[in-house]
Amino acid sequence: MNMIVAVDKNWGIGAKNNMPWYIPEDMKFFKNMTINKTVVMGRITFLSFPKQLPLKNRHNIILTRDENFKVNGATTVNGVLTLIELVKELPSEDVFIIGGQSIYQTFEKYCKKAYITKIDNTYKVDTYFPNLDLLDHWKIDKIHDTKFTNDGTPFTVYEYINTQI
């Protein structure tokens, strides 16, 4: 499976259950990468979606420990092992871990690839992605061309590979 995320200079990813930035170009990248694939998220990230609806044209899987939490058009899963069992028949490259902090932390070791949009700025955040540069098993495989937000902030997609998988 893969991870996909946008981080600031300190690997910050969220504030008050939301994204601290709005970068339509990066949202397009996220959509292109995940369309018609399986996306796995924590309940908090799901609740941050507009109108609390699953992402269109993707198989949405929501992790929650609440067995009563159900969502139309999404699969809810109550534990890590159940999730792994559920996705093991799918091609690994078609499964994307899409956040948030707790889900990235839990699934980092199961992922072969990570698509990290690094935003060259710092924001007020309260949630983080693991700093892959401090983890020996993650290596940078490819760096995409740098783009710029409307206010001129550079952002660049880095592809990391997990050398342990």
Ligand X SMILES: NC(=O)c1ccc[n+]([C@@H]2O[C@H](COP(=O)([O-])OP(=O)(O)OC[C@H]3O[C@@H](n4cnc5c(N)ncnc54)[C@H](OP(=O)(O)O)[C@@H]3O)[C@@H](O)[C@H]2O)c1
End-to-end alpha-carbon separation of the chain, Å?
A: 10
By the rule CB under 6 A, 79 interacts with ligand X: yes
Tell which one of 80, 90, 140, 143 touches ligand X (CB under 6 A). Answer: 80
CA distance 157 to 32: 13
CA distance 83 to 69: 16
Nearest distance, CB of residue 78 and ligand X, angstroms: 6
**Closer residue to ligand X in complex, CB, 27/140:** 27
List beta partners, residue 141.
none
**Closer residue to ligand X in complex, CB, 2/101:** 101
Binding mask 94-133 for ligand X (x = CB under 6 A): ----xxxxxx--x--------------------x------
CA distance 42 to 109: 17
By the rule CB under 6 A, 64 interacts with ligand X: yes
Which listed range, 17-25, 85-93, 130-138, 148-156, lies at the site for ligand X (CB under 6 A)?
Answer: 17-25
CA distance 72 to 102: 23
41 CA to centre of own chain: 8
By the rule CB under 6 A, 149 interacts with ligand X: no
CA distance 39 to 130: 19
Residues that bind ligand X in the complex, under the rule CB under 6 A: 5-6, 13-14, 17-19, 41-45, 48, 63-66, 69, 78-80, 98-103, 106, 127
